[in-house]
A = this chain, B = another copy of it.
């Protein structure tokens, strides 16, 4: 049993990570963070991501919550990889971040989000950045 979250260093990625940690506290279960390995990522950006993840891991450690950071399998789509890991660990929940649309924004979810929502073996919690969500 675990909560699985895909981490990207964006506002919604951070919101998803925070919410996932919160769900682990509630459920007293472990957190598995899937980190995307993006081609051509600048060293500075990778350092930022490392620092953010380290801060989250430190907090989880202090709280006594088990956690694990994995790199996405190269060649798999992020959605496929999240789903595969959720199946492997019999996840209680997958947490994903969604971009907030602008007031005139189109009503369309990204294909990765739709795939995860439709094909996940467990409930999927979708969070947006900012405020409560």
Contacts and interface: CB of A to CB of B under 8 A. Distances in A.
A98 to B, nearest CB: 6
One complex includes copies of this chain to the number of 2
22 contacts: A19-B123, A26-B26, A26-B27, A98-B118, A101-B119, A107-B111, A107-B114, A109-B109, A109-B117, A109-B118, A117-B117, A120-B128, A121-B133, A122-B133, A123-B126, A123-B127, A123-B128, A123-B133, A124-B125, A124-B127, A125-B126, A126-B126
A42 interface: no
Contact of A124 (B108, B115, B118, B126): B126
Interface size grouping (class) on chain A = 20 to 34
Nearest to A116: B126
